[in-house]
Structure 1
Amino acid sequence: MKLLIRRPEQSDIQTLHQFFFHVIQDTYAKEGIAELVDDQQREWAMKKQYVAMDIESQGKKRFFWVAVDEATNDIIGTIEYGEANEIIQQTIKEDLSHCPEIGTVFVHPDYQNRGIGTRLLQKMLTTLEKQKVHSFCLDSGYKQAQVIWQKKFGQPDYILEHFWGTNSHHMIWQRVLPLREKK
């Protein structure tokens, strides 16, 4: 499969909204929390706001990369960075103005486990290095994503135990660049 990683365009907005909704629904189902419809709606609204911030600020407030399957021209993945979210800021309790959060690492369910997320992450790490960003953070409350992040970045710096309920922890990583991601 030929993959194109590019910046989002105004004409992508509706497609991205649908993509976010689909991936969020799939993730909640796989996590066994599909009944949390209000949480899904909040996450969907936040992702739509993030992409709007990127388009409106030309990447200054939020910065996305989208992965496109060149054969179908479908958006099949996203990654973005921006100001660290409230959970990260309240947990780390230090000035994170120069330590953006990498987030919205979404891959369409039909394309998962093909290295697309890894390619998006590599593109984002290179982007941050070129922009002279020296560190980043990321977080996850999704158990499946936590396994992936632990393989790539090791143990989290912070674990908020039972944050989302019994045995549903929230994990936060803070890393310094340049970082050579683990394979």
Structure 2
Amino acid sequence: MSKRMHNELTISKLTSGDRSAANRIFEISITDAFEQEGLGDLREDIDQEIEGKKELLKSAICGTNPGTFFLLASVEGEAAGTISFGPCGEEIRVCTGGRLNRVGELGSLYVLPQYQNRGIGSALIRSMAGWLNEQEIGQFCLDSGYTRAQQKWLRKFGEPYVTVPDYWGPGNPHMVWLCKVKDYV
């Protein structure tokens, strides 16, 4: 699956040869997200988040987690962003009381800071929705505890399926969205 957009953006299935580039995206983007949220001093949490994404990618590529699928966005041949689809994660299960356990999660949507606000995240979402549609998957869920991401998702996906106030501490909610694939193809 490869799709060329705007003559410079390519989205394709992430392969083992892309693993180090994807890991670099996780390292840079997750660190940046924490810094933008004012949480840059939480190095242990940052490292834990990065390692979790690297392990998820490794298990998807090695076949030990066959239910997880990654796409990679490249701009003029340089890896710029990722997105995944797989079983819903722990926060979604907890925040929804298990109501979305059978709905797959759109996750690992990271775009390098220098490529943000150029439509790459939206292109990744459309490409993943296209793949989900081909698999006859009718819906997906996603979640976020990052304030900046929540604002973007509110504009893109509308009101969340559930919001858990103070999940990450006072004034820091966690939001979960439930979306129809056909709305994003």
Q: What TM-score do the two structures reach when normalised by structure 1?
A: 0.91
Q: Deviations over 1:96-154 (max 9, x none)?
A: 23x10001111100010000000000001111111011211000000110011111110
Query: Are the aligned partners of 1:53 and 1:61 in contact in 2 as well (CA < 8 Å)?
Result: no
Counterpart residue number, 1:2:
8
In structure 1, the gaps of 5 or more residues are: none
> What SS does the aligned partner of 2:79 have?
strand
In structure 2, the gaps of 5 or more residues are: 1-6
> What SS does the aligned partner of 2:95 have?
helix
> What SS does the aligned partner of 1:165 have?
coil
Counterpart residue number, 1:26:
32
Residues 103-182 of structure 1: matches in 2 within 5 Å?
A: 103-180=107-184
Structure 2 counterpart of 1:57, one-letter code: G
Query: Are the aligned partners of 1:85 and 1:101 in contact in 2 as well (CA < 8 Å)?
Result: yes
Equivalent pairs counted in the alignment come to 178
Structure 1 residue runs of 4 or more that deviate by more than 6 Å after TM superposition:
none
Structure 2 counterpart of 1:115, one-letter code: G
The whole-number CA distance in structure 2 between the counterparts of 1:95 and 1:139 is 12
Structure 1 counterpart of 2:94, one-letter code: Q
The whole-number CA distance in structure 1 between the counterparts of 2:166 and 2:111 is 26
Structure 1 residue 56, shift from structure 2 partner:
1.4
Query: Are the aligned partners of 1:139 and 1:173 in contact in 2 as well (CA < 8 Å)?
Result: yes
Structure 1 counterpart of 2:101, one-letter code: L
Counterpart residue number, 1:46:
52
Structure 2 counterpart of 1:37, one-letter code: R
The whole-number CA distance in structure 2 between the counterparts of 1:59 and 1:87 is 19
Q: Deviations over 1:133-177 (max 9, x none)?
A: 121100000011001111111011111111111211110001233
Query: Are the aligned partners of 1:79 and 1:121 in contact in 2 as well (CA < 8 Å)?
Result: yes
Identity of aligned residues (%): 33
Moved more, 52-61 or 114-123: 52-61
The whole-number CA distance in structure 2 between the counterparts of 1:57 and 1:104 is 18
The whole-number CA distance in structure 1 between the counterparts of 2:20 and 2:57 is 11
Structure 1 residue 180, shift from structure 2 partner:
4.0
Structure 2 counterpart of 1:176, one-letter code: K
- The alignment yields a C-alpha RMSD, in angstroms, of 1.6
Counterpart residue number, 2:69:
63
2:99 to 90, 94, 114: 94
The whole-number CA distance in structure 1 between the counterparts of 2:127 and 2:177 is 18
The whole-number CA distance in structure 1 between the counterparts of 2:114 and 2:108 is 17
